[in-house]
Amino acid sequence: MMGHWIIVPVVLPAVMGAFTVLVLRNNLGLSRVFSTAATVMLLAVALALLVGATRNGPEIYFLGNWPAPFGIVLGLDRLSALMVALTAFLALVVQLYAIGTGWDGRGRHFHALWQFQLMGVCGAFLTADAFNLFVFFEVLLIASYGLMIHAGGRDRLKAGVQYVAYNLVGSTLFLFALATIYSVTGTLNMADLAVKLPQLPAGDFALIRVAGVMLLMVFAIKGALVPLHFWLPATYAQAPGPVSALFAVMTKVGAYAVIRCFTLFFPADLPATGALFADLLLPAALLSLAVGSLGVLGAKDLPRLAAFGAITSMGTLFVAVAQFTPQATAAALYYAIHSTLAAGALFLVADLVVARRGTGNLLRALPVMPQHGLIAALFMATAIAVAGMPPLSGFLGKLLVLDATRGASMVLIWSAILLSSLITILGMARAGSTLFWKAHAAEGSLPPHPAQPLAFVAVFALLAGLGTLTLAAGPVTGWLAETARQLHDPAAFIAANKLGAP
Amino acid sequence: MSPALIAALPFLGALLPGLLIRAGRNACATVTGFVTLLALIGLGLHIPAVLRGEVIRTQIDWLPALGLNANFMLDGLGLLFAGLILGIGLLIILYARFYLSPRDPMGQFYTYLMLFQGAMLGIVLSDNILLLLVFWELTSLSSFLLIGYWKHLPEGRQGARMALAVTGAGGLAMIAGMLILGQIAGSYDLSDILQARDAIQASDWYLPALILILLGAFTKSAQFPFHFWLPHAMAAPTPVSAYLHSATMVKAGIFLMARLWPVLAGTPEWFWIVTSAGLITMVLGAVIGLFKDDLKALLAFSTVSHLGLITMLLGFGTKAAAMVAMFHILNHATFKAALFMVAGIVDHEAHTRDIKRLGGLRRLMPVTFTIATLAGLSMAGIPPLNGFLSKEMMLEQAAHTPPGLIGLLATLGALVSVAYSFRLIAHTFLGPQRTDYPHKPHDPGFGLWAAPALLAGLVVAIGLMPMTVAGWLVDAAAGAVTGTAAHAHIAHWHGLANPALWMSLAAIGGGLVLLGLHPTLDRLWTALPRPEAKRIFDGLMEPLAALSRHLTAALHPGMLSRYLWIATATIIIVSYYAFRSGSHLPGARALTEVEPIAAIGWLLLMAASVAVVLCHHQRLLTLILIAVVGLMVSVGFAYLSAPDLALTQISVEVVTVILLLLALNFLPKTTPRESSVPRKVRDLGLAALGGLAVGGLIYALMTRDFAFPSIADYHLANSKTLGGGTNVVNVILVDFRGYDTFGEITVLGIAALLIFALTESLLSPGAANDRLRGWVSDTPDAGDRHPLMMVVATRMMLPIALMVGIYIFLRGHNVPGGGFIAGLVVAIALVMQYMASGFGWTAARQRIDYHGLIGAGVLVAAATGIGSWFAGRPFMTSNYGYFEIWPLEEFELATAALFDLGVFLTVLGAVMLALSSLTRLAVRAGQTVNTEAFDMQSELEAEEP
């Protein structure tokens, strides 16, 4: 049993964030040391939780020792443990990048906000209470806003306002959804909802359907699903590189929330809702594939290209999620791990390029940049990963998604995924050709730039993660298949809540 | 050596050239060649077993859930192709060592080449079609790098991208085809699929799978209508052209058709699609090739034509034709690779590949001439060379395959082929010696001509002794393709009755005539309009890119109003759809009476809200109206018996209005008019719809009872007994759901840090900072900046306000109050001091840093939660007890109060940090800082010089 360790991924960054504000706020060096140490510890705890969740099955942590459904509970299962571990790994690597490039010193409170961001993301992954999920959406939203506008600048602040305003619409909608759910069912505990919703009187069906779709749209905003994705391109393109890289996991929060809520208490066999959510999710996912991949091909600069790449990958992910079958969910999870690491790597490479070239512009060739060859190789590798080409895990992930797709819409889905892959490949090839090949034909030279080895170590670490995911695809998918099975048969998770026990 | 290791060796070896280039170019080339040689020896050791008909396998589980396993097998077909890949690869490595100029990065070249070699070996040795797909796409990627190797040349970059686009698209189609194939067969292992011929051909999905797989094969092997990319890929260095575009990669599609021949071939669909594509490609490629002046372009189209020939043979679907196909693959690889290398040598020596600028090289380059002639005559199909053997066998197969048009067109293809082959030899090497070569050519060193010479030797050897040199290999490959033992009978003379003899003769005669007519035809050809592949391709790609650019830009103009409009409309439509498509019963609760006082408040709220919309251009007025709305909401809470909420709301209102007022000071006092009338109408409609929807939803919710017993009952029942407080709202906030509060105070704290960080970025050098410096207040200041009355009043109120704050804090657990409200009240008391006496005076008396207050608050709250671990309880488990200390009455102490202290500190710190950040803006904007408790603006101005 993991016991108190379950809440450590929330409390540890919260304490470290507060501590940094209280004691270390004027000392960048010490902030770096403590913050990195905290993230290392977070990763260690997350891995321990992963092992624990694998061995013990779902476990519930009763906050304040209040019985469910009356208090707030945290839920540790394979899925939440996986997402926390993924977050911790990405955060650690990207944090090293931020330190290595000096991004963290270009504004105030970087490390405190970073820790608070981790608190928010981990809290969202671990909670098993619908309202508490809202709270942690708020934590991660405000912290991400802070990180997004880190280091300031006109365009960045403008994008930041759009980001926060758009997401506040999402927060408001979240409240509407929760109010509706609570007013109809009288409960907010996810497992309790799973027990009660199937018994709902038919006269309440319409209202719970409204609540369900509102919840779905809240998560779709977080997951940047077209047509609720509009906050993403400018945000990801304008945010500091390492922050965009960390944000790769933020869209996954939306995907995670859909998987969690719509397998646990809004499953496909619920009489009140049935196939409603799948019918809405699938067209939106296909639309995201189109908008995202065309955006990759039409992007004027590299960070925007990466941003649209993120939208495409969310489209692929949601296509799998929308199947709501164990096989497709397992495929979605594999692809989610892959696309988090791949998108993170692409944003870091984009930042390397922008830092050396002075601009991410893709329409104009500039001379060869410092560390040209190495960065070109890294771009090639990340482009392969993002486009889903072999030999990296994106290809395997796409094969898994395609293989898991059956039924009437198979032809449509296959065409959409394969066509979007092609367009992404074309866009990546264009971008790489201008950035790295045409540069050899351009006159002049770019100013020198410090080598920043730590930054490259970070990118290599992400690529190593992708490589591991590829080579260990067999064991990983086996583990994920069991994860998906537990999600679609949540009896153990519900039982762990000990609902109604005194 | 296992097949898996053979395929892995080049990948492992790909690391070496990049490293060893530091040791020199010879070391680099040697080690690359050594790795290839090692793999070739490993392959060679298996020859006896394969010839015995054994299939050597390695099986490694990779992704069993999908059926993607790293299974490799080596059979006759694999042996033929792997032998070509490694054998010619070795020669290319040798050739490239002497071909690349000192400016070309050689380590990079060999690394790419080895990656490509590994990918190709992977394709031909895969025993799993998904694994094959992995390698298939890898060849596209590595060839992209090789074609674009000369990065500074636009042709190289464009050719690389075109090749990637075409072969990549085909590869993606093939993914779909392979998945379908595997699903029909129930396995992705080739060994299983090859057994499932009947199931596959009977399936409804046979035709889609066939078409998708053929798309992959045709694009890769440059079959009509996908042939256009290959000539543009010739921008690559010649070793790449010789390797990829003659001997190996373009044969991957052929290989795939041969590999799947047992299960896909033999149906009418297969026959018509594959045969006609092959036939058209063969004739078309030959005709275009005849009119190309660039040696490499001529050879490229010749390659297209020969690939068409092989495709056609596979399309026939007979075992004999499949065997001829295998034989021609071998022959074509030998003479075409040699010719490409010759073209490279000519280019290298004469500095041009343009046939019209060449001619008469025979005496200047005798060795090259000999090699070119042998290989060229073989390409033309002149006996006794190997090209003759397979071409005649091909003609025989074509003659025996109805309809008769096939034989006719095949003869035509052969005829044109003779013409361009002779043209290549004659116009480059024969004729009078010229004086205007760009560079005076002579034979290159041995290193450069060794490889093509060896290949030319093979051309002759196979031609003279076909059964000895190649028969066994062809048998093995054909046996693997057809699944039955094959015995080739290759001979030069089949008797006069053989139609192929006459077709061959016709081809040679006609070819010579055609060559004679070439100058005339060439003028005609040049005058004719013909589709230019590159222009068509660019004509497709550029608009697609431009369309993407425009669509993306049009869809994402960076206008928040548009984004929110779409989001709101989506939310309303989807929610409405969800509601309408579900069953709904109105709620059972009776409506309450409308009391006059409530109605007045409601009207006031409505009026203020509407006024906000009407007056929003005047920001100050808007702020006041918003305050009215907030006030009415507070009153509403109080009226509806929610005193805690009312208290919280009203203190929040006060704080936000003050902070907004301070911020407004630096902003224009009016909002510009930006919305057009249609947009206003749209927004009005949307707002009305949204308002109605939310109103309707709330009405539906408030008029019904919970479907199940609510968790609130538990909270009400246990607030005192288990939570130790009679104020249920507060117990919920700090105990039942204290964890939510913990999250929310963190949000508040972060928000304040954010305001600080934003201020910081505004104050750092930049446009915003300049604007602040140059800021001139657009409203007249009051002369009396810190009025005496206010200073005195706030001083007197401070201790009272602090006491009220502490009181509210302490009583919170049982009656309305608590840390949140207390924090706001104290903050207001302190804000008043700032307002009365100014920043400088107040800040000088402030001993606690506000950042620290926030940090401390969150830490105290977290520490309270962690404290319960030591009692063995989960995070945030509360405890309380009653104590009696003289002279006080009995009182309660609860850990929840400690948590509430954290809330208090965070709220206080957050508000104050926001205030001080705004003040820093004011200072930067030129406002003076007073150190005295009160001053007069006019006095200050008078003192300044």
pLDDT tens-digit profile of B136-188? 999 999 999 999 998 888 888 988 999 999 999 999 999 999 999 999 999 99
Do A180 and A210 touch, CB atoms closer than 8 A?
Answer: yes
CA–CA distances in Å: residue A326 to residues A191, A315, A487, B246 = 19, 19, 8, 47
Could you tell me the pLDDT band of residue B546, with boundaries at 50, 70 and 90?
very high
pLDDT of the residue at B34:
94
User: Is some CB atom of chain A closer than 8 A to the CB atom of B870?
Assistant: no
Per the DSSP assignment, residues forming a β-bridge with B444 are none
pLDDT at B936 over 60: no
Helix or strand run (H / E) with residue B384: none
The reply to whether B654 touches chain A by the CB within 8 Å rule is: no
Distance, in Å, from the CA atom of B880 to the CA atom of B754, rounded to the nearest integer, reads 36
Q: Please tell me if residue B708 touches chain A, with a CB cutoff of 8 Å.
A: yes
Give the pLDDT band of residue A293 (cuts 50, 70, 90). very high
pLDDT of residue A355: 95
Query: Inter-chain contact A429–B66, Cβ cutoff 8 Å?
Result: no
DSSP E strands in A22-135: the ranges are 59-62, 73-76
Min Cα–Cα distance to chain B from A153, Å: 8
Report yes or no: B886 at the A interface, CB cutoff 8 Å.
no
Query: What is the rounded CA–CA span in Å between residue B159 and residue B108?
Result: 19
Please enumerate in sequence order all residues whose Cβ is within 8 A of that of B401, keeping only pairs 6 or more positions apart, or say none.
Answer: B275, B316, B318, B321, B407
pLDDT tens, position by position, A253-265: 999 999 999 999 9
Q: Which helix (H) or strand (E) holds A209?
A: helix A205-222
What region, left, alpha or beta, does residue B741 occupy, with left being phi > 0 and alpha being psi -120 to 50 degrees?
alpha
Q: What is the pLDDT of residue A1?
A: 73
* Residue A235 half-sphere exposure toward CB, CA atoms < 13 A: 31
The per-residue pLDDT for B53 is: 87
Q: Check whether B940 has a pLDDT greater than 70.
A: no
A283 is written with which tokens? Answer: 């067209």
Task: Give mean pLDDT, residues B792-814.
Answer: 90
- 3 state SS of A469: helix
DSSP H helix total and E strand total for chain A: 19, 2
pLDDT at site B515: 81
B572: contact with A, CB 8 A cutoff: no
Residue by residue, DSSP assigns B752-809 as: HHHHHHHHHHHHSSSHHHHHHHT---SSPPPS-SS-HHHHHHHHHHHHHHHHHHHHHH
Provide the pLDDT for residue B932: 67
The residue to which tokens 């290599």 are assigned: A460
- C-beta atoms of B854 and A18 within 8 A: yes
Q: Which residue in B64, B706, B866 is closest to A11 by CB distance?
A: B866
Task: Give the span between the Cα atoms of A165 and A148, in whole angstroms.
Answer: 13
Contact check, Cβ <8 Å, B575/A213: yes
Highest mean pLDDT among A204-208, A441-445, B591-595: A204-208
* Exposed/middle/buried for residue B589 (C-beta within 10 Å: 0-12, 13-18, 19+): exposed
Q: Could you report the per-residue pLDDT of B618-676, keeping only the tens digit for each?
A: 999 999 999 999 999 999 999 988 888 999 999 999 999 988 988 888 788 888 887 88
pLDDT at residue B939, as a whole number: 47
Q: Which of A403, A410, A430 to mutate to probe the B interface, most B CBs <10 Å?
A: A403
Which of A139, A146, A437 has its CB closest to that of B148?
A437
The predicted pLDDT at position B274 comes to: 95
**Does the pLDDT of residue B945 top 50, yes or no?**
no
Confidence of residue B938 (pLDDT cuts 50, 70, 90): very low
Nearest chain A CA: its distance from B216 CA (Å): 13
| Residue B663: predicted pLDDT | 85
Tokens at residue A150, please?
A: 């880190």
Indicate left, alpha or beta for A500 from its phi (over 0: left) and psi (-120 to 50: alpha): left
For chain B, positions 716-745, list CB contacts with chain A under 8 A: 718, 735-740, 742-744
Could you give the CA distance from residue B17 to residue B28 in angstroms, rounded to a whole number? 5
Contacts 24+ apart (CB under 8 A), B563-569: B563/A162, B563/A166, B563/A230, B563/A231, B564/A165, B564/A166, B564/A169, B565/B682, B565/B683, B565/B686, B566/A227, B566/A230, B567/A166, B567/A169, B567/A221, B567/A227, B567/A228, B567/A230, B568/A169, B568/B686, B568/B690, B569/B686
Nearest CB to B746; choose among A14, A182, A430: A14
> What is residue A502's predicted lDDT score, i.e. its pLDDT?
54
- For B819, the token pair is 């840390």
Contact B564 A165 (CB under 8 A): yes
Please report residues of A whose CB lies closer than 8 A to that of B694.
176
* Complex ipTM > 0.90: yes
Q: What is the spatial distance between Cα B135 and Cα B145, in angstroms, rounded to a whole number?
A: 15
Closest CA to A32 of A454, A456, A457: A454
Mean pLDDT within A59-71: 94
Q: What is the mean pLDDT of chain A?
A: 95
By C-alpha distance, the chain B residue nearest A131 is: B740
* For testing contact with chain A, the best of B572, B750, B760, B895 (most A CBs within 10 A): B750
**What is the average pLDDT across A356-385?**
92
Query: Residue B840: pLDDT above 80?
Result: no
Q: Which residues of B touch A180 (CB under 8 A)?
A: 697, 701
d(CA B899, CA B864): 6
pLDDT score of B443 more than 70: yes
Residue identified by tokens 């970025």 is B761
Q: Do B556 and A389 touch (CB under 8 A)?
A: no
Amino acid making up residue A357 = R
pLDDT-derived band at B875, boundaries 50, 70, 90: very high
Residue B73: φ, ψ to 5° = -145, 150
Question: B563, A142: Cβ pair inside 8 Å?
Answer: no
For A165, which of B144, B560, B764 is closest by C-beta distance?
B560
Specify whether the backbone of B882 is left (phi greater than 0), alpha (psi in -120 to 50) or beta: beta
| Strongest mean pLDDT among A452-461, B23-32, B145-154 | A452-461
User: B749 and A217: CB-CB below 8 Å?
Assistant: no
Name the band, by pLDDT with cuts 50, 70 and 90, for residue B526.
Answer: confident
What is the predicted pLDDT for the residue at A263? 97
CA gyration radius for chain B?
A: 43
Residue B502 has a pLDDT of 84
Whether pLDDT at B410 is above 50: yes
B876 touches chain A (CB under 8 A): yes
pLDDT of residue B776 exceeding 90, the answer is no
B491 has a pLDDT exceeding 80? no
pLDDT at residue A501, as a whole number: 65
pLDDT value of residue B934: 62
Confidence of residue B471 (pLDDT cuts 50, 70, 90): confident
Segment A311-357, tens digit of pLDDT: 999 999 999 999 999 999 999 999 999 999 999 999 999 999 999 99
- B711 inside 8 A of chain A by CB: yes
Asked if B687 has any chain A CB less than 8 Å from its own CB, the reply is no
Across the interface, whether the CB atoms of A203 and B584 are under 8 A apart is answered yes
Residue A418 Cα, gap to closest chain B Cα (Å): 6
